[in-house]
């Protein structure tokens, strides 16, 4: 599930880039959340999953949803108007660091073990090798990359808040990601309408090449249904299995997928340092996913 999640989320940066050919960033973010909400709601209905009924639970879910849907989905697609999809994917690598920091602040029971720390540092080293900051003549747009980093950090905050605020609240199975998308949709709609009013354009207007609109719409549909709906189901299963700190290391493989798709689809170059960094990132994921060995005591 960890590998599948990395491939799906890594592909989302390419899908956002394709969507930007004809759609505004706010349109893409809103459609992404809306399509994911419909997808998850249909699955919840098909499996007869009970949704939360009390207002307090919905309120807590809305707080988490802001950091897990509205803010990062908007940040990444806005960032891609200024930087490449691969650079936006690299910005998401900050998620594990943010998760560790906020887990230490908000989750007293969460301890940073030497194994987790080594995996985080190793993963960061791999990401640096992929980025090659020492050989870049002209790095990515500073503002654009900063917005992408904001999106990656938002995930770390959101998953930690989700664990802290909803630790004693039962939101069964698929109801959890479904509720996140449902509460995130009004936030995205408000942002879309506000942005359109400030810039003076219609929320349903085409922003780009009309001939590219069918491909852009297909990309956004895939982004919402698979890249968000299915991905969030996988993410919650991974979080339940290994916790937010370990599960957040999936973002180390996301840049590898994003760069690979850039090579295959967008014609970007991939050199030796990127391949070495990719190997290190995958090794970090394997390291952090291993369980510590327990000593077997021989019976007396």
CA–CA distance, 54 with 60 (Å, rounded to integer)? 11
CA–CA distance, 2 with 4 (Å, rounded to integer)? 6
Domain holding 115, by residue range, is 2-289
CA–CA distance, 31 with 192 (Å, rounded to integer)? 10
33-37, 73-77, 110-114, 135-139, range with the lowest pLDDT: 135-139
Contact 75, 248 (CB under 8 A): no
Q: Is residue 295 situated within a structural domain?
A: no
Q: Is residue 83 situated within a structural domain?
A: yes
Question: pLDDT digit string (tens) for 79-88?
Answer: 999 888 887 8
Contact 257, 131 (CB under 8 A): no
Q: Is residue 299 situated within a structural domain?
A: no
Q: Is the pLDDT of residue 267 over 80?
A: no
19 vs 255 pLDDT, higher one:
19
Q: Is residue 284 situated within a structural domain?
A: yes
Contact 110, 104 (CB under 8 A): yes
The number of beta carbons lying within 10 Å of the beta carbon of residue 63 is: 15
Q: How far is CA 28 from the centre of its chain?
A: 15
Number of domains in the chain: 1
Q: Is residue 54 situated within a structural domain?
A: yes
Report pLDDT for 262: 78
Q: Is residue 296 situated within a structural domain?
A: no
Q: How far is CA 78 from the centre of its chain?
A: 14
Token readout for 115 is 């194994």
What's the per-residue H, E or C state across the chain?
A: CHHHHHHHHHHHHHHHHHHCCCCCHHHHHHHHHHHHHHHHHHHHHHCCCCCCCCHHHHHHHHHHHHHHHHHHHHHHHHHCCCCCHHHHHHHHHHHHHHHHHHHHHHCCCCCCCHHHHHHHHHHHHHHHHHHCCCCCCCCCCHHHHHHHHHHHHHHHHHHHHHHHHCCCCCCCCCHHHHHHHHHHHHHHHHHHHHHHHHHCCCCCCCCCCHHHHHHHHHHHHHHHHHHHHHHHHHHHHHHHHHCHHHHHHHHHCHHHHHHHHHHHHCCCCCCHHHHHHHHHHHHHHHHHHCCCCCCCCCCC
Q: Is residue 235 situated within a structural domain?
A: yes
Going by pLDDT thresholds of 50, 70 and 90, the confidence category of residue 8 is very high
Question: pLDDT digit string (tens) for 196-208?
Answer: 999 888 898 888 8
Question: pLDDT digit string (tens) for 40-51?
Answer: 999 899 888 888
Q: Is the pLDDT of residue 300 over 70?
A: no
Q: Is residue 298 situated within a structural domain?
A: no
């Amino acid at each position: 599930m960890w590998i599948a999640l990395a491939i799906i989320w890594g592909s989302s940066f390419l899908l956002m880039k394709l969507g930007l050919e004809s759609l505004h960033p706010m349109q893409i973010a809103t459609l992404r959340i809306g399509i994911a909400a419909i997808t998850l709601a249909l699955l919840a209905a098909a499996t007869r999953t009970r949704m939360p009924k009390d207002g307090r639970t919905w309120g807590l879910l809305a707080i988490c949803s802001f950091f897990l849907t509205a803010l990062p989905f908007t940040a990444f697609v806005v960032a891609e108007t200024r930087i490449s999809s691969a650079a936006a994917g690299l910005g998401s690598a900050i998620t594990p660091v943010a998760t560790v920091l906020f887990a230490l602040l908000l989750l007293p029971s969460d301890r940073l073990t030497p194994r987790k720390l080594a995996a985080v540092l190793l993963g960061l080293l791999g990401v640096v090798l992929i980025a090659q900051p020492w050989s870049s003549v002209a790095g990515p747009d500073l503002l654009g990359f900063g917005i992408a980093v904001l999106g990656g950090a938002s995930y770390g905050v959101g998953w930690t808040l989700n664990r802290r605020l909803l630790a004693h609240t039962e939101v069964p199975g698929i109801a959890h990601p479904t509720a996140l998308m449902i509460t995130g949709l009004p936030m995205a709609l408000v942002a879309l309408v506000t942005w359109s009013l400030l810039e003076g354009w219609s929320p349903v207007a085409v922003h780009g090449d009309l001939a590219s609109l069918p491909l852009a719409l297909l990309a956004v549909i895939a982004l919402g249904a698979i890249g968000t709906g299915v991905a969030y189901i996988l993410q919650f299963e991974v979080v339940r299995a290994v916790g937010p700190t370990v599960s957040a290391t999936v973002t180390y493989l996301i840049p590898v997928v994003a760069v690979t798709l850039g090579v295959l689809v967008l014609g970007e170059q991939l050199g030796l340092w990127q391949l070495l960094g990719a190997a290190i990132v995958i090794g970090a994921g394997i390291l952090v996913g291993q369980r510590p060995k327990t000593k077997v005591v021989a019976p007396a």
